[in-house]
Amino acid sequence: MQRDRFRPFVESVGDILEAMKTKERYIEELNTTDLPEASQTIRNKLQTFETLLKSAKEASDQDSKLTGVQDTILQKVVDDTNKAIEADNLKALEISIKDLESFSQRIATA
């Protein structure tokens, strides 16, 4: 049940990760021309995630409300994604990708 509740978040993070890995590939290839577009794609995916987060924070029934730990984890996704948007070096981007890849496990146990 808990997993189903957070499936949209997990799927949204998957979309963000896909966009981040595209940006990672551009950095590896020294393709600076496409970096702004890659960052914008990540930003667009983040907006979708933030809409989900806002909806969860505004939930009126007790079962749908986020716990403090869940809220912290979801906010960390936003923070890591923002770092990836601003990143122009491979190491910073790789750290954000690794953090987001562990998202599913962290939210399921929160």
**Which CA distances in Å does 105 have to 10, 72, 79, 109?**
10, 14, 18, 6
pLDDT of residue 1: 47
Calpha distance 23→19 (Å, rounded) = 6
* Residue-averaged pLDDT of the chain: 88
Among residues 97, 91, 89, which one has the least CA distance to residue 42? 97
The pTM for the full model equals: 0.88
**Residue 108 pLDDT > 70:** no
Give the pLDDT confidence of 53-107 residue by residue, as tens digits. Answer: 998 888 777 666 788 888 888 999 999 999 999 998 899 999 999 999 888 677 7
Is CATH 1.20.120 the classification given to domain 2-109?
A: yes
Confirm if 50 and 74 have CB atoms less than 8 A apart. no
